[in-house]
Amino acid sequence: MQIIPFLQNSKWLSRRKIASLIQNGQIFLNNEKLESFKSELKNWDTLTIIDDEWNKENITISEKSETPKWKLIIFNKPKWYVVSKSDPHNSTIYELLPDKFKNRYYIGRLDKNSRWLVLLTDTPSLVHQFEHPRFQIEKEYLIQLSTPFKFEDKQKVKSWIIDEWEQLKFLDIQPTQNPLTYKVILNEWKKRHIRRVIKKLWYNLIDLQRIKEAQYTLPNDLPEGQWRYA
């Protein structure tokens, strides 16, 4: 198997993150620094990954190392529903889901006024892998503003914005073909992250939609309020 698909699916690393680790000499194959993005993994190879905090993880490749088949659900969240098991004041996404999914764990919240992609799983450890800052899982959003985003603000959001004693930033923000609509990429997860950054820069956010999380994207033909297996 190739190294990039393996790390994407087993460690939930983005292509961008894998490329960065290889370029910085933080991935070793059989104790030799990995040089090629196209390296093939074979049974009994040893893959060593050193993260940005210089923690070391060794993985021995075997037939059991194939991409795990997680039981993930993709849900298209509408506005006005909260991502929570219960809420005394609001309707929750579980009211829209079949009873058989009531015990599923959601991966990352979307606030009541935001919509689209929410992943649910029956595996608690998977929630940790998606949400812990160490793994730097990339998430993509579409935001609509009331006024154009200024070019000079791009560097601000890619460095740090301080709000409520927290450091917030975007990995990137890009224009789209639709006027006043921009794609935002994050690799960290803090409460109301995008809304707080946009507000701090004095923009008015009209709409916020999550469209991608790790390698999972929202299908174009999945209506709001509906679900399907990933």
Query: pLDDT per residue over 197-227, tens digit each?
Result: 999 999 999 999 999 998 899 999 999 999 9
Residue ranges making up the domain that contains 84 = 72-131+219-229
pTM of the complete model: 0.74
**What does the chain come to in residues?**
230
Do 98 and 159 belong to one domain?
A: no
Query: Residue 89 has what pLDDT?
Result: 93
Which has the closest alpha carbon to 3: 37, 50, 33? 37
Same domain, 86 and 151: no
Burial class (CB in 10 A: 0-12, 13-18, 19+), 89: exposed
Question: Which amino acid appears at position 33 of this protein?
Answer: K
Copy the structure tokens of residue 160: 């740090």
Is the per-residue pLDDT at 116 higher than 90? yes
* 103-117 mean pLDDT: 93
Is the Cβ–Cβ distance between 151 and 139 less than 8 Å?
Answer: no
Region 32-58: mean pLDDT is 77
Of 37 and 179, more confident: 179
99 shares its domain with 204: no
Structurally, the chain folds into a number of domains equal to: 3
Q: Specify the CATH number for the domain of residue 106.
A: 3.30.70.580
Together in a domain, 124 and 224: yes
Single out the residue of 45, 225, 6, 209 nearest to residue 113, CA to CA.
209
Are the beta carbons of 184 and 205 closer than 8 angstroms?
Answer: no
Residues 43 and 191 sit within 8 Å (Cβ to Cβ): no
